[in-house]
Amino acid sequence: MGSLSTPRPGFASTLLPFLLLLQALAGSTSAVVISLRRRHDSAPQRRRPGFGGADQAVCDLFTGSWVKDESYPLYQALSCPVIDPQFNCQLYGRPDADYLRYRWKPAACELPRFDGVDFLTRMRGKTVMFVGDSLGRNQWQSLICMLGAAAPQGQTQFIRGDPLSTYKFLDYGVSISFYRAPYLVDIDVVQGRRVLMLNNISGNANAWTGVDVLSFNSGHWWTHKGDLQGWDYMGDGGSYYLDMDRLLAFQKGMSTWANWVDINIDWSKTKVFFQSISPTHYNPAEWNNPVSKNCFGEMAPVSGSNYSGPYPDQMPVLRGVIKAMRNPAYLIDITTLSELRKDCHPSIYSGELSPEQRANPDRSADCSHWCLPGLPDTWNQLLYTALFF
């Protein structure tokens, strides 16, 4: 497999002499992964039993459609100082606003409306932490904005850091944190080389202990290659690889995360959630638009409940890992409902773009992240429902 089998303590002293050998073998490096069919029902969802009342059938919160609601958005971008320029679409010139006025409607029930004061009161003295990549950061900032709009006169404290940032609502003793860990598992730097350790998570996980609510996400960074790839080598059980099948690597990394949760989480004190894969909208053929090149110019959701594009390959892997846990995390399945929101991306309305980039949306549009206010507010409404109802 083009691997180097060496005990980890000797890795630093033996890796570099073999770099040329590994590069020569890269063409033959491969890994075998069991074929996984693309389908929504590859594993059952974990739903909160009894939502809607003891006499009402359990509601599938994640199947439904988007309906216009003029009472949205739940906050204004100008009133929330924590929004990154990357997500602040209104500030950076997005001309339309109808995308802000949609509410998620499950097919068989109504979601409880988000109540920020209720959230803060129930969570008094507790901590919430989002762990993952920039989609987790997107959701973290959304929740801060939603809570801040509900308690606008409250005392707050914002501590920016890397990998950990924390926003505190001091009147309630509530901390809302984000810990950046795109792969969840650790990346070790050895003699300038970044090694993605598929079997090791302790370096990151030390920061997650003692938290009352943990919400994890991962997925996008596992597919990146070239300049966007976040590692130089993969480490797996004492062997090291230039690459392997990315679904297999994802399965190994998520299994390491799941094992850590099973061993270290006290479920009487901590609630654990996993946010499913957030979709992108770079291919307009997926929503049957023959004119567009990507999400640029999209101003309304896909109608109905079904999306014609492919379901993410990572989802069956993620469902299988969670199903195998001794105490399965609650999967907040935002994938399909987010696929319908082709209109909610920053596109070219981001503070990170130059005038030249804005003039070329075919190449520059961000169709991965989400505007704030926007779709991540619904993700937090689902988290609120899963926590308290």
Instruction: Pick the catalytic residue from 133, 186, 236, 366.
Output: 366
Q: What is the DSSP string of 131-149?
A: EESHHHHHHHHHHHHHHHH
What counts of helices (H) and strands (E) characterise the chain?
Answer: 11, 13
Residues 6+ apart with CB under 8 A from 356: none
Asked if 271 and 214 count as a contact pair (C-beta separation under 8 A), the reply is yes
Describe the strand order of the beta sheet including 213-216 as a list of residue ranges. Answer: 156-159, 164-169, 174-180, 127-132, 213-216, 271-275, 330-332
Sort strands 127-132 and 213-216 into parallel, antiparallel or unpaired.
Answer: parallel
Are the C-beta atoms of 201 and 212 separated by less than 8 Å? Answer: no
The residue type at 66? W
Distance CA 48, CA 384 (A): 12
The DSSP annotation for 272-293 comes to EEEE-PPP----GGGGT-SS-S
Catalytic residue among 134, 177, 255, 350: 134
Residue 251 burial by Cβ neighbours in a 10 Å radius (0-12, 13-18, 19+): buried
Residues paired with 176 in a beta bridge: 128, 167
Structure tokens at 61: 């919160």
Given the residues 220, 281, 345, 369, select the one marked as catalytic.
369
Residue 369 annotated as catalytic: yes
Catalytic annotation present for 55: no
Which residues are the active-site residues?
Answer: 134, 366, 369
